[in-house]
Structure 1
Amino acid sequence: MTAASGLTQHTGYWMRMVSNAVSQEFARKVSGEDVTVAEWSFMRILYDLEPTPPSILAEKMGMTKGAISKLGERLVAKGLVERTESDADKRAHSLSLTPIGRAKIPVLASLADNNDAEFFGVLTTEEHTTLDRILKVLAERRELKATPVD
């Protein structure tokens, strides 16, 4: 019989363990504001770019136009995002945050900051800086561009 490596011998195992814990706790926190992590990510990107066509959001988030449309529809239904038709092309439209959606961004950002502090506050400043640097290098070298939403 061939020897098989153990689960805990894999870096991916440890990354997934931490990622799941961080993500699940953050999802719980933002659900109290009636948004999902995907909706928060969409809103946060829109906050800096609005008004923005869905195609640009899809490109920025590394998602399909269909996925962006679904997220946009959910946020429009919640009154957090509004759709504006183009004067030049009635088939084209842009998305922007409503005043309620815009006001939610600092609240949600604070939840993200607190979630990070809770999980990574056990690290020294040097350890945290090193972890961030290594993760950013991995993302860059693997050409990972999609916004993590799950």
Structure 2
Amino acid sequence: MLKLDRFLPYRLSVASNAVSTRISQSYRKRFGLKVPEWRLIAILAERDSMTPQDIGQAGELDKITVSRAAAALIERGLVAQRRNPGDGRSHFLSLTPDGRALYTEIAPAALALEAELLNGFSAEDRAALAALLRRIEEAARASMDTAER
């Protein structure tokens, strides 16, 4: 019999929602950002200029979420958009100087929040959690590949 409190997909979803809610409260209050907007800024800070499609793949975000986050950030002057010379149907997004400055301010806050969430975990617990999450992701991707065949 299925017990939700022991069902891995449910537990992962609940944990993810709890962490996202906590992050959302912090980023919205301090920086006026929604979680997808913050994720888009973080991805661009690590990889410079990218297409929305590449951002979606890198951040596990759907096309509409990327589009809305990008539009909001462009409007705020935090992200710039330029045509893709190799493909007239797409464009590149990159952080503006204001966007990069905001990232420089947010990154330490993100790390502090992560430290707060993991405060009760030993170094071994943290390493085990990271390894287990990677294994779950790999198993899920492998099973998707198998299901597609």
TM-based fold match above 0.5: yes
Give % identity: 27
Post-superposition offset of 1:9: 3.5
1:99 and 1:69 map into 2 onto residues whose CA distance is: 21
Gap regions ≥5 residues in structure 1: 145-150
Alignment correspondent of 1:136 = 134
Partner of 2:44: 46
Q: Which runs of 5+ in 2 are unaligned?
A: 143-149
CA contact (8 A) 1:79 1:98 kept: yes
**Residue from 2, 5, 8 that aligns with 1:8:** 5
CA contact (8 A) 2:79 2:96 kept: yes
From the two aligned structures, give the one with the greater helix fraction: 2
SS in 1 for 2:31: coil
Q: Relative to structure 1, is the Cα distance of residues 120 and 62 closer, same or farther in structure 2, using a 3 angstrom cutoff? A: closer
Partner secondary structure for residue 95 of structure 1: strand
* Structure with the larger RCO, 1 or 2 (CA within 8 Å, 6+ apart): 1
Q: Which of 18, 22, 27 is residue 25 of structure 1 equivalent to? A: 22
| Pair 1:5–1:124, CA change in 2 (3 A) | same
CA-atom RMSD in angstroms = 2.4
CA distances 1:95-150 after superposition (whole Å, capped 9, x unpaired): 11111100111222222211111111101111111111101110111129xxxxxx
Quick check: which has more Rg, 1 or 2? 1
Q: Secondary structure at 1:122's aligned position in 2? A: coil
